[in-house]
Amino acid sequence: MNNPFNKKSKLEIILWLIFCILIGVFFTYSLTLVFKNKNEKIFLEQQNTASVIQFISSLPIAEPINKNSPTTKSQYFYLNKETNGLPKISAKAFLVGDLNTGEIIFSYNQEQKYPIASTSKLMTALVAREISKGSDVATVSKKALATLGTNGELKLGEKIKITDLIYPLLLESSNDAAEVLAEYFGRATFISKMNQEAEKLLMLNTKYEDPSGLSSHNQSTVSDLFKLAGYIFTQKYDLFKITTKVSYSNKKHSWSNISQFLDRGEFLGGKSGYTDLAKETVVSIFNLPLGQTGSRPVAITLLQSNDRHKDVETILQYLKKNIYYGGAADATTNWVQQKIDLPDIKDPNYVTLALLGDMMLDRGVRNSVVKNFNNDYSALFQKSKELLTILKESDISFANLEGTASDQGTDQKNLYSFRMDPAIIPTIKGAGISIVSLANNHMGDWGRLAFYDTLSRLKENEILYTGGGYSKAEAEVPTIIEKYGMKIGFLGFSDKGPSYMEAGEYKNGILLTSDPRFDEIIKNAASQVDYLVVTFHFGEEYQTKHNARQETLAHKAVDDGAKIVIGTHPHVVEDTEVYKNSYIAYSLGNFIFDQSWSKPTMQGMLLEIKLNKDGTMSAKKDTVQLNSAFQPIVTSGKEEKVIFQAIKSTVIKK
């Protein structure tokens, strides 16, 4: 006989067991989530800062595989021995991470959105590469050429392969190339695909409104840019490979790389950008020896930087000193201890300047580049490793730009009229020239339109200038470069005209020594900086000794507050002088010029100055020798301490 009570009890027991099982599953799942999140994100909960380690889950991970145990993950990780916080840099947001593992080594404001400027072109290149065919050919339109900027030197109606357009896009950051690419595929469609690709890569805080980055609405985070860098590095590395080339030429063009990091052997590629709102931005990849053996591919992404080059250099030094990749047992090994024992990273108490003479890349120099180097101006700078090293390692590199770099204007029919190929501007940027003087007698050879165009091209390539500007007010203001807490100002004058190119209140032009406010201009400039460099285009051609006029102007400049006076124009090297507590080089001669008819005009001086915070300095006079192709070859001189004049003080007896 069946017992109904037993049936009911069995049912209750079964239901109770099911309920317990469900509770256990839920509890186990909850614990899994907690520990998963804990392993994936370890934050220093201070100032929105993340430190070792955090994982970017959407980044393609290329972990080493153990063939005997495919499911076993590496037990290696990043350790930071620095306990005093992150490196001090100017960027408002930054992220440093390993592209092989997806680990964030350290970051700051990693989810804060900012305009990204020309780093947008990484996505432009990626989308163009993914949707194009090798045979695709675009036509350069008037609308594309109307985009701000001229890098790339594309011509109206020119037909160019999509595969070739990637080079000016990434090497010279050509806005025109970006627009030509977008137009070819349909501009709205192309931008839509840029945003679709961002969504696909889980770049959830990223938006594109144009293909160039000129729009302030092109915004992202350093975290999203790290994801993009990781995808390109692991899946489309040929794009980063392009950005490691010094230059690239086809039958019609030669494009030069303007990257500030090209000289670094560990540089694996990247892209930088600048607009007024975005400030300086960068995505750069470096191969760094952070482990006991081998190197790690590390991405550095910065937004809103005031000085990307200094910020990246600071981060690289910090990584090499404080970060290592290994297991827990490695923390006590000798190679780690050696890193810890390195001296603290501190800014130097001096600024290094590389000062060069007349640079004219027209006429015979242009012919040489076409004949010998397939129109690749960067070849002029490649002959001398000493030159490249000095230009790249100096804090400030200066030269006199002897003429405009433009395809506009009207020849003023001077005895010698120079107008250089606009392609030289990205070239000298890539070589390491940071500032040029515009105050010279050839700056008006093709009129104000060519001069205006030259100003625009210099700005586009982030090359500073002095001695001229869009107005007299701009020309009179010193160009200030701040390094390691020292403000170095540059101010340029021409004593050789042309008077018709003098800057006015509402017209662009140059600054002349005949200006009635000469002393006042220099004094005002000196009051704004720690040390002022005044450059003069003065003296008589081919004379190896300075004249009375040069001495008068140089001494007046020093009396008005100049610390260093640099002369150009004679095309040969002249003497130097110490006057009071200042240093004067009356003529640096030719840096690059086509005056091959004499030995002195094929030589120049590269003046290296180490200027200390206390005003003391040392100088090194390197020799520049031009070969038959007008390539400068540098022979290093001897560094000597500058002994200033003893200034007698007047004691007034009461």
Whole-angstrom distance, CA of residue 321 vs CA of residue 343: 9
Q: How many residues does the chain have?
A: 654
Q: Same domain for 456 and 531?
A: yes
Residue 72 is predicted with a pLDDT of 38
Could you give the number of structural domains in the chain?
Answer: 2
How do residues 259-269 score in pLDDT, each as one tens digit? 999 988 899 99
Indicate if 363 and 215 belong to the same structural domain: no
- Same domain for 235 and 281: yes
Per-residue pLDDT, 85: 77
CA 381 to chain centre: 18
CATH assignment at residue 171: 3.40.710.10
- Say if residue 246 is in the same domain as residue 277: yes
The single-letter DSSP state of residue 39 is: H
Show Cβ contacts of residue 147 under 8 Å, excluding neighbours closer than 6 positions: 175, 176, 178, 179, 212, 214
User: What residue has token string 């201009």?
Assistant: 521
Q: Is residue 161 part of a domain?
A: yes
Rounded Cα distance, 78 and 104, in Å: 9
Weakly modelled stretches of the chain, pLDDT under 50: 1-5, 30-53, 57-75, 329, 331-332, 335-337, 340, 649-654
Instruction: Specify the residue for token string 């301490």.
Output: 641
Tell me how far CA of residue 489 lies from CA of 492, 522, 534, 563, in angstroms: 10, 10, 8, 10
pTM of the model: 0.84
CATH number at residue 387: 3.60.21
Residue 75 lies in a domain: no
* Tokens standing for residue 637: 């001189």
Cα distances from 129 to residues 161, 166, 182, in angstroms, run 12, 8, 12
> Which tokens sit at 266?
């560990």
Q: Which residues pair with 640 in a beta bridge?
A: 619
DSSP state of 608: E
Q: Does residue 548 form part of some domain?
A: yes
Residue where one domain finishes, among candidates 284, 312, 340 = 340
* 184 and 165 both lie in a single domain: yes
Q: Note whether residue 620 is domain-resident.
A: yes
Count of other CB atoms within 10 angstroms of residue 25 = 10
Nearest to 78 by CA among 261, 311, 318, 267: 318
Per-residue H/E/C for 394-454: CCEEEEEECCEECCCCCCCCCCCCCEECCCHHHHHHHHCCCEEECCCCCCCCCHHHHHHHH
Say whether 8 sits in a helix, a strand or coil. helix
Instruction: Please check whether residues 320 and 440 belong to one and the same domain.
Output: no
Residue 99 lies in a domain: no
Same domain, yes or no, for 382 and 240? no
How far apart are alpha carbons 428 and 260 in whole angstroms? 11
Same domain, 365 and 335: no
Is there a single domain that holds both residue 403 and residue 450?
yes
3-state secondary structure of 485: coil
Residue range 19-41, pLDDT digits in tens = 666 666 555 554 444 333 333 33
Domain end point (choices 292, 317, 340): 340
18 lies in some domain: no
Provide the percentage of residues in the chain whose pLDDT is more than 90: 78
Query: Containing domain of residue 187, as a range?
Result: 114-340
The alpha-helical segments, DSSP class H, found in 68-161 are: 120-131, 142-145
Dihedrals phi, psi of 19, to nearest 5 degrees: -60, -45
Q: Are both 304 and 386 inside the same structural domain? A: no
Together in a domain, 310 and 373: no
CA separation for the pair 121, 166 (Å, rounded):
9
| Residue 124 counted as domain residue | yes
Among 312, 340, 368, the domain-final residue is: 340
**DSSP letter, residue 649:** P
Examine the domain organization and report whether 308 and 374 are in the same domain.
Answer: no
517 CB-contact burial (10 Å; exposed 0-12 / middle 13-18 / buried 19+):
exposed
Kindly tell me the burial class for residue 17, based on how many C-beta atoms sit within 10 Å of its own C-beta (0-12, 13-18, 19 or more).
exposed
